[in-house]
Structure 1
Amino acid sequence: MTPIGILERFERVGDVVAAACLLLMMGAISIDALGRFMGSPLQGAYEFSELYLMVIIAFLPLARSVVTGGQVRMELLLPVLEKVPGRAVYRATTALALAAFLLTLWVAVPEALDKIAERETSYGLVRWPLYMSYVWFPVGIVLLCLRLVAEIIRPAPVKPHGTDAI
């Protein structure tokens, strides 16, 4: 299996985990809302959703969104810029994005390691281990950076305007 094939598998796993977390979050919030209506809410549902599930849902699918075109894009100048040979403009903007996310990763990893070392927990009735929620941000950013490197080396084929790739 090629390195890009391995990356695609990790991206798909990230998507599946994020989708499962979305379903879990919907279930937890629904049970909590129903419990509030009946006088016994699900303790910690909000914190669990906020501290764990939302972080996973936001950051694990980032890399796959590059391939599928799921992120917000400005396509105003795209027809003109696609005429540049070798997809040089696409590669340059991808390299800039890679630099920005590598900088983000450079800040996020030490922060996550500090929180894990401190075993930081939340305050309140349910003391959630906060350090576990700091893991998902760097994991998602690493996957995204690997995808951006792959896009610089071998850009995805140009998709016709107005179509979505799945």
Structure 2
Amino acid sequence: MMAKYFELMSQWVAKSAMVVATLFLILMALHVSLDVGLRYLFGKSFTGTLEFVSFYYMVAVVFLPLAYVELQQEHISVDVLVGRFPPVVQLTLYLFACSLGLLYFGMLCYQGYLDAVRATVRMETAMANFKFYLWPSRWALPVGFAAMCLAILANMIKALQQRQAL
């Protein structure tokens, strides 16, 4: 019962992050298209398009969907050798890899959180022709990495329940 609840929560978090990333992708496409259209038609462009695309849109589009991709088991994997092992060995290696993933993404989440807090406290900005705040985009990393940890944990639980590597 608890495992099912955890899996549903992980799916909800991953899908929510994916929706937010999709919205940022749409905003980026509209922003850049409008900027190019204005520049082509009127010789004017939006101030800060490069900054918004680089520091907001791209960061969200890259880091927020990580958990969704993990839950769909669509990350790159090479199992030429492991696929020939017995199922018990495959499960053991899968759980070991998931544990390493949890450790890795957990450390990235922790460091990203520390960096985001530091940037928020300092109200971090970028050099531009205007005051451009960077600190909001810093929060995409710990959110994306935390969601990734939840997804890895959910996949580990699922693999243990099914008694096979995913």
Shorter-chain TM band: 0.7 to 0.9
CA deviation profile, 1:93-134 (whole Å, cap 9, x unmatched): 111111111121222211111000000112212322101010
Letter in 2 for 1:80: R
Contact 1:22 1:57 in 2 (8 A): yes
Letter in 1 for 2:91: R
For 1:11-30, list aligned pairs within 5 A. 11-30=14-33
Who is 2:133 aligned against? 129
Are residue 5 (structure 1) and residue 4 (structure 2) matched? no
CA deviation profile, 1:24-57 (whole Å, cap 9, x unmatched): 1111111111122130112111211111111111
CA gap 1:82/1:67 in 2 versus in 1, 3 angstroms: farther
The range that moved more, 106-115 or 74-83, is 74-83
CA gap 1:41/1:89 in 2 versus in 1, 3 angstroms: same
For 1:105-144, list aligned pairs within 5 A. 105-144=109-148
- Pick one of 71, 75, 82 that aligns with 2:75: 71
User: TM-score with structure 2 length normalisation?
Assistant: 0.87
Letter in 1 for 2:9: I
CA gap 1:82/1:63 in 2 versus in 1, 3 angstroms: farther
Runs (5+) with no aligned partner, structure 2: none
Contact 1:52 1:133 in 2 (8 A): yes
- Aligned mates of 1:130, 1:82 — CA distance in 2: 49
Which is richer in helix? 2
Are residue 149 (structure 1) and residue 161 (structure 2) matched? no
The alignment partner of 2:87 has SS state of coil
CA RMSD of aligned residues (A): 2.2
The range that moved more, 88-97 or 118-127, is 118-127
The range that moved more, 24-33 or 149-158, is 149-158
- Aligned mates of 1:37, 1:137 — CA distance in 2: 35
- Aligned mates of 2:62, 2:129 — CA distance in 1: 26
Runs (5+) with no aligned partner, structure 1: 161-166
The alignment partner of 1:84 has SS state of helix
User: TM-score with structure 1 length normalisation?
Assistant: 0.87
